[in-house]
Amino acid sequence: MNHYRARKIAKIVAIVIAIAMVVTSFSFIMMVPGMFGMGSYVVYAATEDENLDSQLLTLKQYMEYVLKNYKDDVTYQQMINGAFTGIINSLGDPYSVYYSSSEEGDEFIESVTGEYSGIGVSIDSYNDECRIVSPISGTPAEKSGIKSGDIITHIDGIDISSKSLNEVVMMMRGEEGTKVTLTIRRDSQVLKITLIREKIKNISVNYGMLENDIGYIQITSFDNDSHLEFVIARAALEKQGAESLIIDLRNNPGGLVNTALEIANLLMPEGPITHFEQKGQIVESYYADGSSAADMPIVLLVNGGSASAAEILAGALQDSKTATLVGTTTFGKGVAQQISDMKDGGTIKLSMYYFLTPNKNRIDQKGITPDYMVSESINIDAKELEANYANFAPMNEKTKPKSGEAGLNVFGAQQRLSMLGYTVNKSGIMDEATVAAVRKFQYESRLYPYGILDYTTMQKLDKSVVEFITGVGNNVDLQLEKAIEILK
């Protein structure tokens, strides 16, 4: 294909994902100024709650009582802000936020779209803790070895357990060249990592040629022109003779949803890209027009740091059979937010939709499971893996366990499958999850996928674990290697 042009997708909404390297969690934002202002007001139907007026009157009396009797000076506005915040907090949704002033809301929006100085991480709230979703490629966070799943407990020695995500983000941002120290909990370890803040400039698309005429495109986030960069990258690779393509979405925390839709439209056949669901009903769907469907094999790399808009693209390409997914299960952030201005100057970021894959699968808190589960090698301690492997149960019993059977062969297989990233219960029993994992391993290893632990499967499984540990020691990218293997 020698000519590319940007295509507009019908009904694309301007939804932005908030990359927490700049602010809170990576949440979708749709700008709708004036939902509660500009002459527009919220109307409560009396039939929904006839006691609402009475309850609001009680709330007013409560505020008057506090104003009169509290030990320190307090204002009505302070309490009103607290009430609005309390309403949002009552939802138990980490992605919904009330900003008491337009300045705070503007600061949030600027941090989504503008240049800033910081360390380059996306974060979210998990079990009331601040969790790293992913370090951003090329930033101080990535260079320092911060990992997806790390829990931030302190910033510059300050306990952040009572801080909001927005407050945490603002603590990590600061003037270029200044230091910030994060205290991080990683499993049973407590680490202190000092970073130097840098200007975070998001170069979202990188590309190059690999062996066997395979083109490689990395998308680190979805900004407002990533789809145009993608067009240029693909054209350049095709000109260099690319006959297949690897698209790398690992540690991509998201970005502009319409950009992800544009890229999906550049690859997919005609059909749905994603659906938006509210209160159990699909309220909007977005479609590829099929005019520029990819005419080459594609492998998509994903991991636990692939989130939101990245998951929209991953789900679309998987369900439409456009690409084969390789890696580990994605983050599982499938909730879209809308930002609205209130009449009094406040701003609300409210979760309004779930997004679904083309096959209408909800991925929130579940993620997308790749077609090939392959663990990452980067930042894994090879010596620790070797020590674990040395303690694995041998698989030398003269049995070929099938569903419902038990034994050391089963337990040893479960230990090895777990190390390779498969989800199993290490019980020594061939339960449903273990049979499914064995079947998947057999399929990925080009063995007959019937879910029985035969001798060939056990030998291949043990060999795969040894290769995995060896690859880790040599810092080999096992996921990329798998993608290349598939496309050869």
Output the DSSP codes for 405-472. Answer: -BSHHHHHHHHHHHHTT-----SSB--HHHHHHHHHHHHHTTS--S----HHHHHHHHHHHHHHHHHH
User: What mean pLDDT, rounded, does the chain reach?
Assistant: 83
And the tokens for 297? 């094999």
Query: For the chain, what is the domain count?
Result: 2
pLDDT reported for residue 102: 63
User: Within a domain: residue 411?
Assistant: yes
- The C-alpha atoms of residue 461 and residue 434 are separated, in whole angstroms, by 13
**Which of 36, 46, 18, 205 shows the shortest CA–CA distance to 121?**
18
| pLDDT greater than 50 at residue 34 | no
- Using CB atoms within 10 A of its CB, is residue 312 exposed (0-12), middle (13-18) or buried (19+)? buried
| pLDDT greater than 60 at residue 9 | no
**CATH number (domain holding residue 435):** 1.10.101.10
Residues 256, 228 contacting (CB under 8 angstroms)? no
pLDDT digit string (tens) for 398-420? 899 999 999 999 999 999 999 88
pLDDT band at 20 (very low <50, low <70, confident <90, very high): very low
- Using CB atoms within 10 A of its CB, is residue 54 exposed (0-12), middle (13-18) or buried (19+)? exposed
pLDDT digit string (tens) for 293-314? 889 999 999 998 899 999 999 9
pLDDT band at 13 (very low <50, low <70, confident <90, very high): very low
And the tokens for 279? 């209160």
* Paired strand residues for 246: 216, 299
Q: Given 200, 216, 250, which residue is the final one in a domain?
A: 200
Q: Given 146, 179, 200, which residue is the final one in a domain?
A: 200
pLDDT band at 21 (very low <50, low <70, confident <90, very high): very low
User: Within a domain: residue 125?
Assistant: yes
- The C-alpha atoms of residue 136 and residue 130 are separated, in whole angstroms, by 16
| pLDDT greater than 80 at residue 211 | yes
User: Within a domain: residue 14?
Assistant: no
- The C-alpha atoms of residue 463 and residue 467 are separated, in whole angstroms, by 6
- The C-alpha atoms of residue 461 and residue 465 are separated, in whole angstroms, by 6
Q: Given 179, 200, 221, which residue is the final one in a domain?
A: 200
User: Within a domain: residue 46?
Assistant: no
pLDDT digit string (tens) for 107-162? 555 555 445 788 988 888 877 899 998 787 778 998 899 988 899 999 999 999 99
pLDDT reported for residue 203: 67
pLDDT band at 380 (very low <50, low <70, confident <90, very high): low
What is the rounded end-to-end Cα distance, in angstroms, of the chain?
Answer: 22
User: Within a domain: residue 121?
Assistant: yes
pLDDT reported for residue 192: 95
Sign of the torsion formed by the C-alpha atoms of 411, 413, 416 and 419:
negative
User: Within a domain: residue 283?
Assistant: no
And the tokens for 257? 């949803």
pLDDT digit string (tens) for 316-349? 999 999 999 999 999 999 988 777 777 767 788 8
User: Within a domain: residue 290?
Assistant: no
User: Within a domain: residue 139?
Assistant: yes
- Residue 394 belongs to domain spanning: 382-487
**CATH number (domain holding residue 132):** 2.30.42.10
38-42, 191-195, 467-471, 482-486: the lowest-pLDDT one: 38-42
* Spacing of C-alpha 32 from chain mean position: 25
- The residues annotated as belonging to the active site are 308, 319, 333
| pLDDT greater than 90 at residue 443 | no
Amino acid at 419: M
Q: What is the mean pLDDT of residues 89-98?
A: 85
| pLDDT greater than 70 at residue 363 | yes
pLDDT reported for residue 52: 85
